[in-house]
Chains A and B, each alone.
Chain A
Amino acid sequence: VSQAASWLKVDGFTRKSMRKAQKQKKSQGSSQFRTQTFTELSPLPQLKDAPSTEQQELFTQKLQQCCMLFDFMDSVTDLKSKEIKRATLNELVDYVSTNRGVLVEAAYPEISNMICTNIFRTLPPSENPDFDPEEDEPTLEASWPHIQLVYEFLLRFLENPDFQPSIAKRYIDQKFVLQLLELFDSEDPRERDFLKTVLHRIYGKFLGLRAFIRKQINNIFLRFIYETDHFNGVAELLEILGSIINGFALPLKAEHKQFLMKVLIPMHTAKGLALFHAQLAYCVVQFLEKDPTLTEPVIRGLLKFWPKTCSQKEVMYLGEMEEILDVIEPTQFKKIQEPLFKQISRCVANPHFQVAERALYFWNNEYILSLIEENIDKILPIMFGSLYRISKEHWNPTIVALVYNVLKTLMEMNSTLFDELTASYKSDRQREKKKEQEREELWKKLDELKLSDAAALVQNNSHGLQNNNSNNNNHQENQEKGTAVIATDHEDPVVAMDTAENVKGVKTAK
């Protein structure tokens, strides 16, 4: 939002600690751009004390009274009226949940109006422009004391045995649902939780809205993936979808398959995957249990988006892959085993021990093991190189021990092949090296061709340049070489570095 924020961002060293220090003075936000003129509320008589002939009229009056909105950012004003509204809302919740016959047709527009006025609002801008849901405290909705009761009321209304969707659909329509879905972006987890239940009820009761709801969720997800990379309610929406997918009829409609391939799979690329990965993986597995022929495209999709640099995500992908393999049919497995095990072989050789470990755990899974055994002739040649190499090279002893076990298991599955691969390991590596050299040769020759179009040349070289600058900022402190440091200095990180590589770094830094 301003320069201050960007300053904090650039300074990677103090960011976290500074954020903690700032520790939101007010962790509450609310946005009501109101045009209402305020009038003080005065208490109405209790519904239970009113004669039954007047109850309906009083119910309406109370609903109307609850349409008055208050500023909760200001905690000192209108205390009396705020309290009256709170008590009234409580009474209304109680009234619709314990009484029969109160939901007459005339009450629906009043109820709908009260709900819409209170909960539908533009969510406030985030207090913290780079809000990290894993790290930061969420900003809570300031007007929660009232809004909570309105949500409570909405739920009781939907669950009331007298509730009639045929009347309600005039009010709970597409526009209503659209606004409800926008609210899922609320930073307040309490609100999202209510919304989840509310939407679930609506999906269950209004058949005519189902396709619309799915389509809008689709749109929200696409915006999340490709435009904003930010939406707080992804996990909640996925949770609802999990149960929706469960209820899909077979054969699956093209629309649903498209949703899986074009929305759910690309969703794995999101920055905040950790926040909703469990729900997402559940949805994916649900699909595969419905229709096993989707296995191949799903796995290929995941392989396409496989994380390149984020180890934490890679572990999540591996977890999901194991869930998928748990339900895979052997015929499907055969179709994707090669690309899949090429990836697994890369994971096993990953220098990050958690990634390697997670991949090696596949060999503890009985079902996966049986699939591997059935296809050992294909899988062993793919896996062998990595396993053999890291059994000698990996820095982490636990990984090395696990790798030995895996090699042993694989050897037992087909010892002849295993021996052949061991014997040819060296010559294979040499062949690879030779191929690599030939590649370089080829490119060298190609580069020697003079490009007649100079512009094309410049264009080719311009790619690498931008990245170099951004890294320099924080390295300044490291410039001093530290081989012979005698003077003590506590701030500048000085690492004893003797290797030729680091010395070179010093020279080129100037």
Chain B
Amino acid sequence: MNQSSFISGADGDDSLYPIAVLIDELRNEDVQLRLNSIKKLSTIALALGVERTRTELLPFLTDTIYDEDEVLLALAEQLGNFTMLVGGPEYVHCLLPPLESLATVEETVVRDKAVESLRKISQEHSPVDLEVHFEPLVKRLASGDWFTSRTSACGLFSVCYPRVSSTVKAEIRQHFRTLCSDDTPMVRRAAASKLGEFAKVLELDYVKSDIISLFTALASDEQDSVRLLAVEACVSIASLLPQEDLETLVMPTLRQAAEDKSWRVRYMVADKFSELQKAVGPEITKNDLVPAFQNLLKDCEAEVRSAAAKKIKEFCENLPEDSRETIIMTHILSCVKELVSDTSQHVKSALASVIMGLSTILGKDNTVEHLLPLFLAQLKDECPEVRLNIISNLDCVNEVIGIRQLSQSLLPAIVELAEDAKWRVRLAIIEYMPLLAGQLGVEFFDEKLNTLCMAWLIDHVYAIREAATCNLMKLVEKFGAEWAQNTIVPKVLGMANDPNYLHRMTTLFCINSLSEACGQDITTKHMLPVVLKMSNDQVANVRFNVAKSLQKIGPVLDSNALQTEVKPVLEKLATDTDMDVKYFAQEAIRVLALA
């Protein structure tokens, strides 16, 4: 129907694209096509120009879009970047109507995206426009019938509050108060999650008069999902208040939260412990938080204990320096000892990921006397993740007591992890190999760990073989080319004759990553002949990897070797019967400029 006008538009003036054609696209029956069109909404807007975008496109979007959430999500996102396309900040308020209706839909992701876009464009409003257009929208949302619009409103108060007059400010505070005691828990959750953010933009007097009472009420809500969000707000609120007010305004609620009957709330306290600690300061930490932390470390739920265990290092670091060591030795250490033999592996592994950090705080003597036995116990833990976490943090202990103290226990633990049935465990230990090698020294490495590193090259999982290859390169970087020539190169090259083509390919992959670290001499003398010989392999995969390897090591070789040795082989491969071998050979010839 729009054929003729479409053609005329395409031929000449770009601004003549009829909106009907574009809108047809936005209405296409196929969701995928609609989605594509919406994602290119800015292109459509550009084609229409700012004037018609404002007068035709936006009204269409506002009125007629009832669509799949996926499409709405894309729309909500697009509109956040539309300011220039409607004519700049002067006209940005034109974007409010479609975003307002998107902020009321059921689907959370759409709504959240609409709110995000609204927050973004709120900054582009002039103070006058903010009061004339934006703030009324927030009010409408805040008093909407269905919970979705009220939920969305919660996220918008803080962006307009700082830039409106004091009368409007009072209204906004009133709306926020109302939503904090909303009938539906969804809205209360939304309000609770924005409480901290809102508190930050309020004047201190209002924080004390308004926010604290809302905070107290939300923190004793009947639903634990609301209470736990109040804990998050607690961090922001506490950091806004002067020290002398904390005790009366915040601490009663915080104490109550740390002993809440719901583990979810206690979990949240544990999870936010470091932030809370910073917010309330050293004195309250000493008197209140230390015992609370002890309780969390001994909580009856493993979830809570493991969240608390993760915070041990940070908590100890942030203790006031004058009493740090005493507090750790008298209050914390006994809990840590118990956690080492906890019934839950999650707790133990959370502990293992931070426990080594305590050694820097406590110093050499305490580490040897109190912490070392715990490290050793965790190195023998039945759960691989616990052992892995200890090994991955060895550097902290190394600095304090040196790794020798641990090396005897370390070896069995490493060997066991290296042979673990789960390939992700093996992968993790490989990644620590260069670090371990650096700390244990070349002798210890050659004697105990070298065989492991070579065994990984023939692992049956590709990811492990790949990581093993990369590991060798890092080791060579550490120990040098001479070491490589004596210890690993012969073994790697030996695999070129393996009956399994995957192992033969591993040789090529190793050469790819080792050649640069080993240098021209070793590459030309030892590696190149092997690669060239493999060009006759009967498996096509090996042959095209030969081509790739030659391309990779080419820059390391001198031009003589390239011309006399590499070129003929690549030319031969370029006439291979397999099309992939051909492709990669030609690619290599092109890259190495041998044509």
Contacts and interface: CB of A to CB of B under 8 A. Distances in A.
A352 B346 CA distance: 41
Contacts of A489: 500-502
B540 A477 contact: no
Interface residues of A, number: 66
B106 A226 contact: yes
Given A11-B424, A32-B300, A222-B186, 19 more contacts: A2-B349, A4-B346, A7-B422, A31-B301, A33-B301, A122-B261, A175-B222, A222-B147, A226-B106, A266-B107, A449-B14, A451-B43, A481-B541, A484-B538, A485-B501, A485-B539, A486-B538, A487-B501, A492-B462
A306 B383 CA distance: 44
B365 to A, nearest CB: 32
Nearest to B307: A1
Contacts of B500: 487-489
B201 interface: no
27 contacts: A1-B303, A2-B346, A2-B349, A5-B346, A7-B424, A7-B425, A122-B261, A122-B262, A222-B186, A223-B185, A226-B186, A442-B6, A442-B25, A446-B43, A449-B43, A449-B46, A449-B47, A451-B42, A456-B84, A460-B43, A463-B74, A481-B541, A482-B541, A483-B580, A489-B500, A489-B502, A507-B583
Contact of A125 (B301, B349, B501): B301
A334 interface: no
B446 interface: no
B204 interface: no
A451 B462 CA distance: 44
Nearest to B185: A219
Contacts of B108: 226-227
B259 to A, nearest CB: 8
Contact of A456 (B85, B541, B544): B85
A481 B345 contact: no
B502 A266 contact: no
Interface in A467-492: 476-477, 479-492
Contacts of B46: 449, 451-452, 456
Contacts of A226: 106-108, 186
B318 interface: no
Given A122-B224, A449-B47, A483 B385 contact: no
Contacts of A2: 306, 346, 349-350, 385
A54 interface: no
A253 interface: no
A10 interface: yes
Contacts of A486: 501, 538-539
Contacts of B185: 219, 223
Interface in B262-318: 262-264, 300-303, 306
A503 interface: yes
Contacts of A479: 462
Contacts of A124: 263, 301
A398 interface: no
Contacts of A453: 42, 84-85
A459 interface: yes
Nearest to A451: B46
A100 interface: no
B461 interface: yes
Given A33-B261, A222-B186, A485-B539, A507 B580 contact: yes
Contacts of A225: 106
B10 interface: yes
Nearest to B151: A226
Contacts of A219: 184-186
B124 interface: no
B579 interface: yes
Contact of A476 (B6, B147, B306, B466): B466
Interface in A407-450: 438-439, 441-443, 445-447, 449
A87 interface: no
A506 interface: yes
Interface string B490-508: 0000000001111001000
